[in-house]
Each structure stands twice: as structure tokens, then as C-alpha cells.
Structure 1
Amino acid sequence: MNESKTQDLGLLFLRGSGALFLLWVHGLPKLLNYSEQLKLIEDPFHLGAHVTLLLAIFAEVLCPLLIIAGVLVRLACLPILAVLLIAMLVVHPEWTLFEGQFGWLLLIIFTSVLIAGPGRLVVSQRFS
């Protein structure tokens, strides 16, 4: 296998595994348990629980699906990175590196995808 194909497979694995992990651990629970999540979600900018939860669902459900498909990948990374930075720096600034390691790891993954792009294994090159 040539280096270009190996890099494309690596980018597919990075974006797919990171997006699936975010979707499964954070996005789907918010979507499937919306009413319960309304009582739990932090609202650091006082937008209201509904708006804050909808923004989180957008970043943690729709954006990972776009990234998995390889559609608007770099653009889809931005809301994810915003939610992660807000969670780590505004909502939970008291967390140690150990307590916040999952969030920091996701920041590393999605920043890497933002920088590198999706690779060539995407639904359409036109929209990636």
C-alpha cells in the first residue's frame, strides 16, 4: 500500500473513531434523554437550558455524523472544538489534567482533523 493510501486510511480512522466516540458517549445520550439532560446541562452563558442543550446536540450529534461521512469536515470540527473548550475552560476549570483527560484527548483529535483535513476517503470531495 502506498503512503498516500495509508495516510488516507489513517485520517479515516482518526476522524471516524473520534467522531463515533463523541457521538456515542456524549451526543446520543443528550439526544435520547433530552428531558433528563435539560435538568443536568450547565448553562455558562445563560442562554437557557433548551438553547444550550440544542447547541451541544448540534456539536455532538450532527457534526460527528458529518465528520464520519467526510462532509464539511473542517467546518464540522469547529462547533465540537468550541463545546470542548467551553467545557474544559469555562464549565470545569477546576478539573485537573487527569479529570479532564477525555476532553483534552478529544481536543487533540478534532484539532488534528481540523489541521489535516478528512483525507480522500470521503462521501464527496466536493463538500469536504
Structure 2
Amino acid sequence: MKKLLSTQYSAGAFNFAILLARLSFGILMIMKHGIPHLMEFSSLQYKFYNFLGIGSRFSLVLVLFAELFCSMFLILGLFTRFAVIPLVIVMMVVIFSVNAGKPFINSELAVLYATVFIAILFVGPGRISIDGMMRG
């Protein structure tokens, strides 16, 4: 009980928590967003949200890059800080552009993803990652 109420944690607990966040949010991003967008590419390419005025198709390709490839790097813990930057950008576009004018609660999921991705950007992938193994 004493340990449960403690505000201190071990390095192992921290690294496991970061691993859990990377795995769960990376897998969810791929399964719930990346794969469905990829499967619907042919129909979405003409009606996808066109951010930055670069066209719907290219916008979709950039989002797919983030949702599939960057999420895979996040899961592996490889180039983690670089990988979460596109994911944060996509979530910010969803929050402040796609859902602009709608009640903020509509952005709940994007805010949750963005918060975790930003936290990983700040703290890094942890030692249980390819990045952690390369650092030694």
C-alpha cells in the first residue's frame, strides 16, 4: 500500500510506462486510422480535408505517412522524436482545422492522441526501444 501511494517511481517503471504508451497509441493509430484511410484511399483522395492548400490527394498521402509509417517507428521506438512530430501535426490539424467551429468535445480523441505524442516528444522513447538500445 505504501508503494501505491508513493510519488516516486523506478527507471524501470518509467520505461515500461513509455513502452506501453508507444505500443498502445501506435497500434491504435495504425488500426483505427491508418489502415481504414489506406483501404478507402480511392474514394477519400477526392474528398479528404485539404490542409495547406496542397490538394486532397497529397494531404491524404501525408496523413497516411504519419498514421502508418510514423506510427510504426513509434511502436519500434526508432527515430521516435522525429516520428511523433508528423503525428502531432496531424492531430493539431484535426483539432484546429478539421473540427474548427464544432464543439471542442468533438476533438476529444485527437486531443488525447496529441497529448500522448507531445509527452513522448518531450521524454523520448525510453530504454525499451531501438533508440534506447542504440544509445546504450
- Output the TM-score relative to the length of structure 2: 0.86
Q: Which runs of 5+ in 1 are unaligned?
A: none
Percentage identity across aligned positions? 23
Give the number of the structure whose alpha-carbon radius of gyration is greater. 2
Report if the CA contact (8 A) 2:74-2:80 is conserved.
yes
Consecutive unaligned residues in structure 2, runs of 5 or more: 1-8
| 1:119 alignment counterpart | 126
TM-score (norm 1): 0.91
Shift of 1:19: 1.1
1:44 aligns with 2:51: yes
Amino acid at match of 1:36: S
Count of residues paired in the alignment: 126
1:75 maps to which of 67, 82, 88: 82
Residues 10-53 of structure 1 show CA distances to partners (whole Å, capped at 9, x for unaligned) of: 00001111111111111111112210221331103221122111
Report the counterpart of residue 62 of structure 2 in structure 1. 55
Query: Stretches of 4+ moved more than 2 A in 1?
Result: 123-127
| Counterpart for residue 14 of structure 2 | 7
Partner-residue secondary structure (3-state), 1:39: coil
RMSD (Å), alpha carbons: 1.6
Deviation digits for residues 59-94 of structure 1 (CA, Å, limit 9, x no counterpart): 111000000001000110000111111121122211
